[in-house]
Each structure stands twice: as structure tokens, then as C-alpha cells.
Amino acid sequence: MAERQALTEEATKTAVVMPFLQALGFDVFNLEEVVPEFIADVGVKKGEKVDFALKIDGTIAMLVEVKPISCKLRDTQFSQLFRYFHVTEARLAILTNGREAWFFSDTDEPNKMDKKPFFTFDFQKHDAAQVEELARFQKGRFAIDAIIEAASNLKYTSAAAAYLKRQMEEPDDDFIRLIGRQIHEGSITKSVAEQLKPAIQAALDDLVRDRIQDRLSITFRPESATQVSPVPEEPANDNEVFTTDEEREGFMIVRAIGAKIVPVERITMRDSKSYCAILMDDNNRRPICRLYFNSATTKNLGLFDAEKKETRIKIASPADIYQSAEAIEAAIRAYA
């Protein structure tokens, strides 16, 4: 069995890893650049080998350990990399099974390899951004200080992204309470958390959608319909309209208020130069309220009565919207 594993590992080296190292600009047939079966004595352990040591200008830049393609890297013990990292000048290490490559550094403690990779690359599933990140490790572009700085940023960015992805799919109680304390006055009881959860999920979806809109410079906002308020809605010039964080927060609060009455997807936002309109079913004839947050000195909340006549009240912050929850609920119920 051990022999079969060794053969599989050798096949991984020959078929995948060596071409990969070549793609990074290393001459795999030059022992001054790629040292196979690199040996470095570590304490009482003598003659241990790491599969490859990559050199740049005579200095070891990276260590590479190869596992069989059948091996899952998360289940792998890579103690050799840990030990070799400590006794060589290398500050980068790669663990690969030919399907993935995990990149490690010493961002947590100098000269001690981190327990978790700061970057992973899937040879079969990757995007342009990951390819560009991989290009940092090319011999011709190799700059260790820039790589270490990027490694530190990537580590925290990846961890944060993974956490937020989990929360978007199924927010946990701690996350609901964290957001809830910012948008709800009073204790976050179990019933309040259940009420807030769909609104928070919807808000996260909206933030992702808005980010995509910003990146693509595309506005999905429909054209204005017939006005129902005595204050006319200004035609929005997409280049002049900017939705602020406070407007987004206000929108999330209105959704939280309405979550117990209607599905939060029915409560929508349409921004313009003068105010941010919160509507039912994205219909301008169904106004819930308006946020007048564009002034540098004052904020106003526009509320609508049964005849859809607007009254503006001054507020200090988006959190004050909760004080008008009853009027907002009444407006929502009129369209439910």
C-alpha cells in the first residue's frame, strides 16, 4: 500500500507539480532553482526530506510538499513543512495534491509556519482574480515583502468572507443579536430575533446586489411612476444619485419593522437626488415612508397617512425610525 501511495505521489509530482513550477517560471531541471528531495537536519531528526525547495538568487524562497492526488489536504499531516520552515530562510510553503495548492506563511508568528493557509488555488476551478493572485509567486515577480503583506490581508479577508457567507446562508443567533442591537431598541429576545432574521438576510442580499450594481455601473431601478405625494419625485440621474450607508440602514430598519406584516422582499428602496423612497412592491403609488438624509445638518423622515399625505418629522439618526414604527406599520398594512 505504501508503495502504491509513493507511486501515486510521484505521478502527481511529474504530471502536475513540475509543470506548475515551470508555469511559475522555475527551471525544474536546474538544481540551482529547484532542489528535489531537499534535506535539512532538524534537531534530532536527520535526513528528512521535503519534496522541493525553490531557490531565487541562491536563497530558498519556497518549500513544496506533495501529497497523492487521492489525499484530501484538510486531512493531511504536513509536519515536515512546519519543521523545515523553522530551520530554513524560506517564508513561504506550498502544500499540494495536484488538485489544490495551499500557500502558507508566518503571518501569526515570525519563522513559524501558520496552521492555516492564507491562499488556496484549485487547479480545476478558479477565476481571474485567483490567477492574478497566483501570479505573485512567479519567479520574475517574486517580492517577498509584498507577498507577506498580501498574505496577511488575504488571511483575514478570506476568514471574514467565509464567516459572512455562512451568515448570509443561515445567520446564527450571535450575528442576529449583533445586528439587532444596532437597529432595535430594547432586548433582543428570541421572538425579536426571529422577527429580525428575515430582514437581516434580505438586507445582506440587498447589499450584495448593490455592490454588483456599483461594480457593473448598472442601475436596476425602474423609471418613476405617477406621483402620489405633494412633493414631486425628481428624475434620478444615475451619475448624481448616491445611496448612503445611513439610507441603507434606514431601509433595513423599515424592513425590520414590516417583517412581521409582509414578506420583506415586498419592501423596496428607490433612491433619488432629494430623498430615498421606501415603497411597497417597488410601486411608487404605494409609499411607506421617505428618508430625507441628504442634508449635512438635518435628517427628516416622511410619513404617510391613509390619504397618502406626507408629514415630515425631524430625527437624529436612522435608529429614531423605530419611534415611528406604528405609522410605518399602518402604511404597510394598507397595502398588505
Q: Where are the alpha helices (DSSP H) in the chain?
A: 2-12, 18-23, 79-87, 128-134, 144-169, 173-183, 190-216, 245-258, 325-335
Q: Give the phi and the psi of residue 161 in degrees, each rounded to 5.
A: -65, -40
Residue entry with cell 490581508: 153
CB 256 within 8 A of CB 199: yes
Residue 41 confidence (pLDDT): 58
Burial class (CB in 10 A: 0-12, 13-18, 19+), 59: exposed
2-163: which CATH topology?
A: tt1808, chain A (3.90.1570)
Each residue's pLDDT, cut to its tens digit, for the chain (336 residues) gives: 433 444 467 778 888 889 999 999 999 999 999 999 887 655 545 667 888 999 999 888 899 998 888 888 876 667 777 777 877 788 899 999 888 999 998 887 777 888 888 888 998 888 887 888 888 889 888 888 888 887 777 777 777 878 888 888 888 889 988 988 888 888 888 888 888 888 888 888 777 776 666 555 433 344 333 333 444 444 444 456 788 888 998 998 999 899 889 888 899 999 988 899 999 999 989 999 999 998 878 899 999 998 889 999 999 999 899 999 999 999 999 998
Domain with CATH 3.90.1570.30 in the chain: 2-163
226 close to 285: Cβ distance less than 8 angstroms: yes
Write the CB contacts of 126 (distance below 8 Å, at least 6 apart in sequence). 134
Query: Residue 40 has what pLDDT?
Result: 67
Q: Residue 97: what pLDDT?
A: 87
Question: 275-286 in b/e burial notation, b at 16+ Cβ within 10 A?
Answer: bbbbbbebebeb
C-alpha distances out from residue 235 to 246, 267, 301, Å = 22, 21, 20
Whether the model pTM is above 0.85: no
pLDDT of residue 75: 64
Q: How far apart are CA 197 and CA 195, in angstroms?
A: 6
Q: Measure the CA–CA gap between 327 and 269, rounded to whole angstroms.
A: 18
Q: For residues 49 and 219, what is the distance between their CA atoms, to the nearest angstrom?
A: 57
